[in-house]
A and B are shown apart, each in its own frame.
Chain A
Amino acid sequence: MTADVVTLLPEVVLALGAVLGLLVGSFLPPGREAPVRWVGIAAAVATIVVALVGPVGASAFGGTYTVDVATTTVRVLVAGAVAVTLVLAGDPGAGGASNGTILASNARTAPLTQRAGRSRTAFAVLVQLSGVGAMVLGGASDLLLLAAAVLLAGLPLAALAGLARDGRAAEAALKYFLSSALFGLVLLTGVTVLLGLTGARAYAALGRVVPPVAGAVALLLVLVGLLMTLGGVPAHFWVPDAVDGTHPVTGAVLTTTAKLGGLVAVWRLLVAVPTATVPWPLLVAVLGVGSMTLGNLAAFAQTSLRRLLAYSTVSQVGYLLVPVAAAARSPLALPALLGYLAAYATTNLAVFAVLAARPHALEIADQRGLARRHPLLAVALAVGLLGLVGTPPTVVFAGKLAGFTAAVDGGMTWLAVVAILNSIASLFYYLRWIAPVFSTGDPVLRDPVAPRARVVAVVLAAASVVGGVLVAFVR
């Protein structure tokens, strides 16, 4: 038992950080809750350290939880994302206090403290709890633990989406909550059927799934349930509304942390199932193609940057599913998946940080002349967006290259072709954003820039380039 807890130490540390933050926060006057964020950041950093020095190759609680390279990667990435979002949350207006002047007209009338309550404490705690859920998702090798982890990762996000307490936020939260309830049920149904078929909770028993049709249907249900957590087709409906209705920092959390754990969960579940019983590589490939294509097509016409980015994250789920689809047949798939996850987390957070730096300019038209007023921010944005396309030498390029190589290696060249065509299509809407940024016209807004978000954006964009160059030293 003690050994089990030691194996789970990173999760424990982050959860303790959340509890401690809750305690500290309740003794602080509303509106002056910075120490809660610092507790959270410290816990996240400690989690990274513990995850890196901890044992790899262990399993805990009778095999329900596996710690391997994938788990460690998820732990480090999730904790890193939590730390970054908590830093971002320090900017005025971010961190759940409100969408404030951006969105809600009624927000201007109410005094800040009354309206916000202890929302900054809540924000920090919820981010950490969702992070714990994402980490458990990444390590779960047991059907029931998987179901619990999906709830743990998802429910805090619903609360997070509604923190701002205005109309848009309520809509976002409700939409997220309802779809997570629906797809959670789908997931549980699938889990139940699988339990019934195999008579065991452990993934190891999935090899025994006897009647292929029932097994395939159940697996599909579980997959669809997980896709809700990931925000991928066919469970992507919440993404644009939730991201568009919340502050960019919240949007960053919604589209990053749970996704990191969820993809590894999908991979871990599927590789346990023999492809002879269920042809899941094809299934995942089709779902992936659906995500990337639908996400891209929907992003084309957006004028709201948050919606555009939301759809871009949907398409990114599609690319992330490419190495998962190849996982059965290519040994390159796992490093490709983990590499792409790291790349995605860095780049996606960088772009959201650029948005968070100017939370008043959330339409494409507001971006005109950004390069003249804030050249560093503009360059960070260009690096981030072109990075999401997969332009070298950014990390996403390395991730996409690895993923496509794995697909070709796994005999799914057609999937690589579709993914490449989608990457080209995605360039179009990213350029719709980049073009006004570097246009020579006078800036639209002379607004203040959130200092932390600017630093984070520039640092992450630089990291995405340096990481792309130094990718050799990662593993």
Chain B
Amino acid sequence: MLTALWLAPLVVAAVLAAVPAARREVVLGAWLVLTVAEVVGAGFVWTAVPRAGGFASEVAAPWIPAFGVGYHLGADGFSAPLVAMTAVVFLAVALGSLRRPDVEDPARTRAFVLLFLALEAVGIGVFLALDLVLFFVFFDLSIVLMYFVIAGWGSGARTRSALQFFLYTFLGSLVMLLGFLVLAVGARDHGGITFDIPTLAARNPLAGQGVTGALALAAIGIGLAIKTPVWPVHTWLPPAHTDAPAAGSAVLAAVLLKMGTYGFVRIAMPLLPGPWRSAALVFVVLGVVSVLWGALVALAQRDLKRMVAYTSITHLGYVVLAVGAAGFVAAGPEARILAVTGATVQMVSHGLITAALFLLTGVLRRRGGTSEIAAWSGLAGPMPRFSWTFALAAFASLGLPGLSGFVGEFSLLAGSLPAVPVWTVLAALGLALTAALFLRALQAMLLGDRHLPARAERPPVPRAGLARFRAPGSPDLRVAETTAVGLLLACSLAVGVAPALLTTTIAPAAAQVVALVSR
């Protein structure tokens, strides 16, 4: 079941690649159907997750037995929501990418679709993997695929940005691999080398080996921090986001960054409980600095896409703060479980909202060729659908109650408060800054005198024949784009209105991790 879930996009990709000179409609249609099927599949996986904790539909087989590497998949309260979020984001991205430039070569369209199918496979795979090597394989492949997305379909200094992204995150992933190796070899004296995550969590192989454990956590922590990204290793993110295509940005923010934060709750915390407790304050501080740094720098941005990129650092800084706070045993289990649950909700919520924001920014770039905030004003008149969805996404991102951002941030801050009160209060300042920067952007772009870039003012040239009637004269969102963004925001609204949908699944897994960290 789980194997089928991550393998299905690759199968579709292989079929599409094998069909010679496939027509563009066929390729895009197959992509859309697959992404819908993935959402349904992810839903089934979610419902199968046991409410008492533990993994659903586990698959385990030896892979490289001599080295203790296994093919081990499973879905628990952390994986299922993230898999579902990934599936929804890819569906939205597929919808948002349906309209291709008319001049685009069909072979290029196909290559684009193939890349995103492969990205969906590794995105889902990484959240299901229960073996360190398997996790690393998906983690690393996501970097390679995203490199090609940015270098192939980006804008601006895309080659440079893509190279920087690849080198930086590849460095992180290999440093992380080193930590994995130390962990796996550390298990040698406890019954043989193994890369199996649940087995390693049960064995706690590096317990009592202070320095080795600290070094392993440092290696894994640096690797995950680069991917998350946490200040001060975030510098690859803004150029990558700015120059990536909108669909790539959405996936990068929603799925790839989550691989970092998910790694904390899946690997770093349960496998290295002792070092995690000792280093918890480091993560708290880095998290808070990321929150404030990201928000302040975002405030100074003139480009909407770059601004949204920096808010990602803020939002994921909260997650790092919360998982750090969960390392303070003295705070009591309830608060720590709340913190970890909140952190996971925040991951899902950030994925949904930021994907929506990036898709909307992509619409601006397509219509007007620029996402400079100053280039757009008074959009509420000519682009009502854009304005409504953009405002809703912005409010969700700044944490308006009733939307998912509020649920995540409120519960993780409430959970962190007993452990690290001063730092939590500092982080809460980030909420005010985020609100300020989004309101400023909304005010500048939606209200005021109508002013659009010349390219957006000019309606697209009507094509010949019947197509003329379909060619819209307005720069507003098209049906598919509205559906894509609306879907993401509807999910965010659902979580905001009925958070129990999410938290009842996450809480058992969070309780397990908190218990493992307390050992």
Interchain CA distance A392-B174 in the complex, whole Å: 11
Interchain CA distance A423-B175 in the complex, whole Å: 11
**Interfacial residues of chain A within 371-391, with CB under 8 A of chain B in the complex:** 372, 375, 386, 391
Q: Quick check: A402 and B167 within 8 Å, CB to CB?
A: no
Closest A residue to B134 by beta carbon equals A392
Q: Tell whether B136 is near chain A: CB-to-CB under 8 Å.
A: yes
Interchain CA distance A401-B184 in the complex, whole Å: 12
Closest B residue to A469 by beta carbon equals B63
Q: Quick check: A438 and B148 within 8 Å, CB to CB?
A: yes
Q: Tell whether A61 is near chain B: CB-to-CB under 8 Å.
A: no
Q: How large is the interface on B (under 10, 10 to 19, 20 to 34, 35 or more residues)?
A: 35 or more
Q: Quick check: A401 and B182 within 8 Å, CB to CB?
A: no
Q: Quick check: B159 and A402 within 8 Å, CB to CB?
A: no
Interchain CA distance A471-B193 in the complex, whole Å: 17
Instruction: Please encode chain B, from 136 to 150, with 1 for each CB lying within 8 Å of some chain A CB and 0 for all others.
Output: 110011001001100
Q: Tell whether B66 is near chain A: CB-to-CB under 8 Å.
A: yes
**Interfacial residues of chain B within 427-476, with CB under 8 A of chain A in the complex:** none
Q: Tell whether A431 is near chain B: CB-to-CB under 8 Å.
A: yes
Q: Which residues of A contact B182 (CB under 8 A)?
A: 408, 413
Of A409, A420, A440, which one neighbours B178 at CB under 8 angstroms?
A420
Interchain CA distance A420-B182 in the complex, whole Å: 14
Q: How many residues of A contact B (CB 8 A)?
A: 32
Q: Quick check: B174 and A423 within 8 Å, CB to CB?
A: yes
Interchain CA distance A431-B133 in the complex, whole Å: 24
Q: Quick check: A401 and B66 within 8 Å, CB to CB?
A: no
Interchain CA distance A311-B81 in the complex, whole Å: 46
Q: Quick check: B175 and A332 within 8 Å, CB to CB?
A: no
Least Cβ–Cβ distance between B60 and chain A, in angstroms: 13
Q: Quick check: A405 and B67 within 8 Å, CB to CB?
A: yes
Q: Which residues of B contact A435 (CB under 8 A)?
A: 151, 159, 163
Q: Tell whether A335 is near chain B: CB-to-CB under 8 Å.
A: yes
Q: Quick check: A405 and B185 within 8 Å, CB to CB?
A: yes
Q: Which residues of A contact B54 (CB under 8 A)?
A: none
Interchain CA distance A394-B178 in the complex, whole Å: 18
Q: Quick check: B107 and A332 within 8 Å, CB to CB?
A: no
Least Cβ–Cβ distance between A470 and chain B, in angstroms: 9
Of A332, A375, A420, which one neighbours B177 at CB under 8 angstroms?
A420
Tell me whether chain A's interface is mostly helix, strand or loop, or mixed: helix
Q: Which residues of B contact A386 (CB under 8 A)?
A: 144
Closest A residue to B168 by beta carbon equals A424
Q: Quick check: A472 and B64 within 8 Å, CB to CB?
A: yes
Given known A409-B185, A435-B159, contact A392–B140 (CB-CB < 8 A): yes
Q: Quick check: B148 and A332 within 8 Å, CB to CB?
A: no
Of A413, A424, A438, A472, which one neighbours B63 at CB under 8 angstroms?
A472
Closest A residue to B163 by beta carbon equals A431
Tell me whether chain B's interface is mostly helix, strand or loop, or mixed: helix
Least Cβ–Cβ distance between A466 and chain B, in angstroms: 12
Interchain CA distance A475-B65 in the complex, whole Å: 9
Interchain CA distance A416-B178 in the complex, whole Å: 8
Given known A409-B185, A438-B151, contact A420–B175 (CB-CB < 8 A): yes
Q: Which residues of A contact B170 (CB under 8 A)?
A: 424, 427
Q: Quick check: A420 and B174 within 8 Å, CB to CB?
A: yes
Of B66, B177, B193, most A-chain CB atoms within 10 Å:
B66
**Interfacial residues of chain A within 402-434, with CB under 8 A of chain B in the complex:** 402, 404-405, 408-409, 413, 416-417, 420, 423-424, 427-428, 431
Given known A393-B137, A405-B184, contact A471–B64 (CB-CB < 8 A): yes
Q: Which residues of B contact A440 (CB under 8 A)?
A: 152
Interchain CA distance A332-B68 in the complex, whole Å: 11
Interchain CA distance A20-B63 in the complex, whole Å: 43
Closest B residue to A438 by beta carbon equals B152
Q: Which residues of B contact A416 (CB under 8 A)?
A: 178, 181
Closest A residue to B177 by beta carbon equals A420
Given known A409-B193, A424-B171, contact A472–B140 (CB-CB < 8 A): no
Interchain CA distance A408-B182 in the complex, whole Å: 7
Q: Tell whether B166 is near chain A: CB-to-CB under 8 Å.
A: yes
Q: Which residues of B contact A420 (CB under 8 A)?
A: 174-175, 177-178
**Interfacial residues of chain B within 151-209, with CB under 8 A of chain A in the complex:** 151-152, 159, 163, 166-167, 170-171, 174-175, 177-178, 181-182, 184-185, 188, 193
Least Cβ–Cβ distance between B146 and chain A, in angstroms: 13
Of A332, A392, A439, which one neighbours B66 at CB under 8 angstroms?
A332
Q: Quick check: A402 and B181 within 8 Å, CB to CB?
A: no
Interchain CA distance A409-B159 in the complex, whole Å: 39
Q: Tell whether A398 is near chain B: CB-to-CB under 8 Å.
A: yes
Q: Which residues of B contact A439 (CB under 8 A)?
A: 159
Q: Tell whether B401 is near chain A: CB-to-CB under 8 Å.
A: no
Least Cβ–Cβ distance between B233 and chain A, in angstroms: 14
Q: Quick check: B64 and A402 within 8 Å, CB to CB?
A: yes
Interchain CA distance A372-B105 in the complex, whole Å: 10
Q: Quick check: B66 and A417 within 8 Å, CB to CB?
A: no
Least Cβ–Cβ distance between A69 and chain B, in angstroms: 12
Q: Quick check: A392 and B141 within 8 Å, CB to CB?
A: yes
Closest A residue to B69 by beta carbon equals A401
Q: Which residues of B contact A375 (CB under 8 A)?
A: 107, 111
Known A401-B177, A416-B181; 4 more pairs at CB < 8 Å: A335-B67, A431-B147, A431-B163, A435-B163
The chain B residues found within 8 Å of chain A, CB to CB, are 62-67, 69, 107, 111, 133, 136-137, 140-141, 144, 147-148, 151-152, 159, 163, 166-167, 170-171, 174-175, 177-178, 181-182, 184-185, 188, 193
A-B contacts, 5 of them at CB < 8 A, read A375-B107, A391-B141, A393-B141, A405-B67, A409-B188
5 pairs of A and B residues whose beta carbons are closest in the complex: A392-B137, A408-B181, A408-B185, A420-B174, A409-B185
